Amino acid sequence: MLTNVFVAIALLLSASSCTVIPTDTAGNRFITDTHAASVAFRSLRVEGQSTIKGQIHRTGRNPVPFGHIGYAVLDASGKVREQGRVEHSAAIRLRNTHRPSLFSIELKQPLASGERVQLIYLND
């Protein structure tokens, strides 16, 4: 009985040591620019192949002026394939610095391999 436990533990350890964690390419998929506004993009992700979701956090104590998110999908050569703008929730306009504003972008076409998404925070 004790031998079976040791064999099971040995098999578990050997299986877990061979596990390879895939590298996170989400950091390489997004280009962000806040135009010196006191905000930062966080938790950026692609859901499915055509939905971009994320959060905008306040980085300072001052209120954030009204603005929107401009986006562009760039192909592997850097040419713009799709562009537009979306609004975000109003949380960062309030004085609570711990609540992020959420946003979601529905792309017209799914992201292809090698394409990148440029996100820009623009004041209205």
- Residues 35-76 have pLDDT tens digits of 777 888 899 999 988 999 998 888 877 767 777 889 999 999
pLDDT band at 4 (very low <50, low <70, confident <90, very high): low
| CATH hierarchy code of domain 25-123 | 2.40.30
Q: Specify the pLDDT at position 25.
A: 47
| Domains of the chain, residue spans | 25-123
Mean pLDDT of the chain: 76
In this structure, of 53-57, 91-95, 96-100, the range with the lowest mean pLDDT score is: 91-95
CA distance 98 to 66: 18
Q: Which residues of 23-37 are buried (b: 16+ CB within 10 A; e: fewer)?
A: eeeeeebbebebeeb
| Pairing of β 51-58 and β 101-106 | antiparallel
